[in-house]
Structure 1
Amino acid sequence: MARLRLLLPLPRARCWGFRALFASLLLLAALQLLYLGLLSAMHGRQQRLRYSRGGGRPGAAARGGEPQSRGALTLGPGRLDPSGRYRLYQDVGRSPVAGDAGDLELSLATHSSLHNLHHLPALARRWQGLLAVAVFAGPGELSASLQLIHNLEGHCPCLRGRVTFTLVTPSGPPEKGAAPGPGGGEPGTRDPQGGEPPDPHPACRRALAQLRRYGLGRANYALSAGPYPNNLLRNAARRALPSRHVLVIDVDMLPSAGLHPGFLRLLGRPEEGRPGAGRTVYVVPALEMRHTRRLPQHKAELQQLYQVAEVRPFYAELCPRCQAPTNYSRWINLPAAATATTSTSSTGPALRVAYTQEWTDPWEPFYISRNTVPPYDERFEQYGFNRISQACELHVAGYTFAVLDNAFLIHKGFKLASEFHPQKDEENRRNRILFRQFKQDLKLKYPDSPRWC
């Protein structure tokens, strides 16, 4: 019996040993799972970091995926503008365009500060050709601007291979590094496409939401970075694509659907080869729409909205004389052309010259022109006389203003005096004085011209 009592505890000891072994195995399995989880997270972080720096899978762009790597987010020395006050960095996007443009007939040029750049995808979807955008970045915003541009282009397929970006910043010592710093506010509180259907790609919508957060509370003419050099930006965008013809507009405007292919067909007609065609600019009437939930694509839609006062001439409240020579009452009553279609897609309405208008002060039309027209005078910054000055020079240089019948631009929202920055009137006064000097300069530049402004 004593011997049996000594043997009884042995099975219990063995049970405890098995339990300890089982617990050790469970702990080992848990540690392996934790290791695999950490390894996966580290790999994902490396991939995201690689993508944010311009990386991606080799050949992904050819398969319709992410663009190929362009290296780390760094910029070269750039170049100074003639005044020495600004530095320009050309073609900073992920998918270079300018070098591949080739024999380009028509492009669109626009400009923006960071807070307005969210309009770009909607503009690219409307315009069926290549675009150039000059982006103004203030001191300390250069790295943030480059990061936001790369994110936008990397996540929005409609921009890849179609848009060339030029960064413009005040000259000075190089910044020591600035990370993107989105501002406050909730994403998606307002349609980031501005009246266009939401972008079909969720990643693009997230990139647009980041841009909108970054720009909350900012305005082009009320930036802390100093004066907004709108004419310098327009010229930089024009130079970025070597096209024969160019349409220069603001980034928060949309062209009518089919304007790009319609104008190319217009150029192909024999009458466009007649003498003097090179001295013609083609005016695209500009209008503004009260509500931007569904912006019109064709003139027939625009005419209906015009009749119910949802659409009116551009700058109707701020400066009606600045657009009056377009003769909107005549233009809006011209019959809308049917949209030409092929078996695969819509090519837009047929375009023709409806009538010509003589330039009168202070007309500032938007137009398609040869890219050889005089550049915008870069002395004009901030608000006032920046576009009028170029139209005035075209008039003195002997250009004809021909109004297109079925093409238009639509601005997102009514332009209201109450929404402008407080310094607008003072900036307008300073630029009016500069405009007087500008007109005297034109007399020296075109001494044989019978025209003046």
Structure 2
Amino acid sequence: MVVNAAVARSRYFPLLITFCLIVIFVALHNIQTVKIENVERIMLDVGNKLPGAYLRDIKINTSNEIFCKLNYGLPTQLKYTKNDLAGSPELDQDSPFQVLYDVIEGQPRQIDPGVTYATHLTKDFVMYLTEVVRQWEGPISVAAYVSDGDPKVILDSILHFCYCIPEMYKISLHLVFRKDSHPSYFSIALLQPPDTCDIQNLLKTNSDYNSLSNNSDNSHKKDIKNWYPINVCRNVARQSAYTEFILVCDVELMPSEGLANRFIRMLENQRCVEPNCDRRVFVVPVFEVATSEDPPKTKKELVRLISLNKAVYFHKYSCPHCQKFPGLEQWKTSDPGEVIKPLLSVKREVPYHRWEPVYIGTKNEPMYNERLSWEGFQDKMLQMLEMCLANYQLLILDGAFLVHWPGIKKSKRKDEPWRAPFIRRNQGYYDILLRNISGKYPRNLRCRSKR
């Protein structure tokens, strides 16, 4: 019996081993399948959060209708001469930059609120326009810097949007060039009407944008001679607006729900009767949220994310003084209801003398100093100093906000060594410009520069 049992075990042992291996293989396969599905789901979630991802679900109009008002031979070509180019708003012909205005011309409608979203971009960030046009109800003025003198990538992308997004009627587009980057006569062939609204093909041709999904930064590769003229672009976008009120901000800033319409209703209900109404602007607080979250549309959503440590005021970790505004804690706990209204009226004085608020104003405010670069920091500081010396009131809006997309920045910008030559360059101009501004106004010790 013992012998027979041993024989039986030896006979069935290979079968048992085979069965165990099959079980292990199936288990490992299932685990691997789950892992792959999780990775695919994560990749899909990431893809859905990239600017313009929603366009994959938009159907192209078979009639090839275009929603933009185009100039200079668009959409099939861009064609202009030196006579079409203008100097920059502040420095005019003394500027190293030239502007081709109204390449795409906005189309005003009576139902649109009278506030323009004035912004700037390069080809790296052109995809954000798809989000701005669907979230901002009013006109949009865009100054696009063409660093290499060839606007084809920018125009191919924006024309793609013009075929797919009806709200593109709001867009005015102006191109900013270096004087030494392009010939006086220019003509290029452009994108034909797209077969689909999905922007994947555009992404494949724009390696800078591909890096956006990896949250990488190629700024350290910048040439000191080819600095980003952020203030030229701000001035171009602002001066080109055809509404009285203008929000000058970066294209990555997504507005809260109904911001433009609610702002206009606020003005209608709270007419200013004071003698210095032309010396006031309306501050729109700026926040940033975790990459796992969609930009909130309402203050209730934003405050919930703040309570979960998934949202903070803009640049809290990378530049704490830049966007921390007076009354921040009061703002977080107040309830404006469904309207926008002023929370506080403040001045940009000590201890908020390094604050660089984003605000709704007019063309009457001082221009941005066009000799200062984005790479060298403090590019808005002198404009804010001048507004302080000119005794501007800053009304902080409750019920309105902007959200920087994507993610919360943790690294301090001043620790980036590649910026050193740009900082020195800005500092040289800064000292000269500071003396010029200070000489125009009565002395006010509470109005300080960055120091």
TM-score (norm 1): 0.71
Structure 1 partner of 2:31: none
Q: What's the offset of the Cα at 1:177?
A: 6.7
C-alpha deviations, 1:199-221, integer Å up to 9, x for none? xx951544663575453447567
Structure 1 partner of 2:269: 269
Structure 2 partner of 1:309: 309
Question: How many Å separate the matches in 1 of 2:68 and 2:172?
Answer: 19
- CA separation of 1:219 and 1:407: change in aligned 2, threshold 3 A: farther
Of 171, 176, 186, the match for 2:179:
171
Amino acid across the alignment from 1:403 = I
Structure 2 partner of 1:141: 150
Structure 2 partner of 1:428: 423
Question: How many Å separate the matches in 2 of 1:257 and 1:390?
Answer: 29
Structure 2 partner of 1:215: 209
C-alpha deviations, 1:271-299, integer Å up to 9, x for none? 33443222111111111112254110000
Structure 2 partner of 1:355: 344
After TM superposition, the structure 1 = structure 2 runs for residues 6-405 of structure 1, keeping only pairs within 5 Å, are: 60=65, 70=74, 72-76=76-80, 77=82, 78-81=85-88, 82=92, 83-93=94-104, 96-97=105-106, 105-159=114-168, 161-172=169-180, 173-174=182-183, 203=197, 205-206=199-200, 209=203, 212-213=206-207, 215-217=209-211, 219=218, 222-223=221-222, 226-291=226-291, 293-337=293-337, 349-359=338-348, 360-383=352-375, 384-405=377-398
- Runs of 5+ unmatched residues, structure 1: 1-55, 182-200, 338-348
Deviates more, 1:240-249 or 1:103-112: 103-112
- Secondary structure of 1:330's partner? helix
- Secondary structure of 1:382's partner? coil
TM-score (norm 2): 0.71
- CA separation of 1:116 and 1:71: change in aligned 2, threshold 3 A: closer
Q: What's the offset of the Cα at 1:401?
A: 0.9
- Contact 1:140 1:178 survives alignment (8 Å): no
Q: What's the offset of the Cα at 1:109?
A: 0.3
- Secondary structure of 2:161's partner? helix
Amino acid across the alignment from 2:96 = R
- CA RMSD for the aligned pairs? 3.3
- Contact 2:112 2:139 survives alignment (8 Å): no
- CA separation of 1:65 and 1:85: change in aligned 2, threshold 3 A: closer
Question: How many Å separate the matches in 1 of 2:171 and 2:218?
Answer: 23
Structure 2 partner of 1:444: 439
- Runs of 5+ unmatched residues, structure 2: 1-61, 212-216
Question: How many Å separate the matches in 2 of 1:334 and 1:422?
Answer: 41
- CA separation of 1:354 and 1:102: change in aligned 2, threshold 3 A: closer
Amino acid across the alignment from 1:356 = S
- Contact 1:247 1:367 survives alignment (8 Å): yes
- Contact 1:91 1:98 survives alignment (8 Å): no
Question: How many Å separate the matches in 2 of 1:394 and 1:65?
Answer: 36
Question: How many Å separate the matches in 2 of 1:251 and 1:427?
Answer: 23
- CA separation of 1:80 and 1:301: change in aligned 2, threshold 3 A: same
Question: How many Å separate the matches in 2 of 1:333 and 1:233?
Answer: 36
C-alpha deviations, 1:364-403, integer Å up to 9, x for none? 0101112221111101112311122221111111111110
Q: What's the offset of the Cα at 1:123?
A: 1.2
Q: What's the offset of the Cα at 1:410?
A: 0.6
Deviates more, 1:69-78 or 1:108-117: 69-78
- Contact 2:281 2:394 survives alignment (8 Å): yes
- CA separation of 1:73 and 1:447: change in aligned 2, threshold 3 A: farther
- CA separation of 1:449 and 1:140: change in aligned 2, threshold 3 A: same
Aligned residues: 362
- Secondary structure of 1:267's partner? helix
- CA separation of 1:270 and 1:162: change in aligned 2, threshold 3 A: same
Question: How many Å separate the matches in 2 of 1:301 and 1:447?
Answer: 44
- Secondary structure of 1:445's partner? coil
Amino acid across the alignment from 1:446 = Y
Q: What's the offset of the Cα at 1:156?
A: 2.7
Q: What's the offset of the Cα at 1:251?
A: 0.6
- CA separation of 1:258 and 1:409: change in aligned 2, threshold 3 A: same
C-alpha deviations, 1:91-127, integer Å up to 9, x for none? 112xx21788999731110001101110111111111
- Secondary structure of 1:414's partner? coil
- CA separation of 1:288 and 1:262: change in aligned 2, threshold 3 A: same
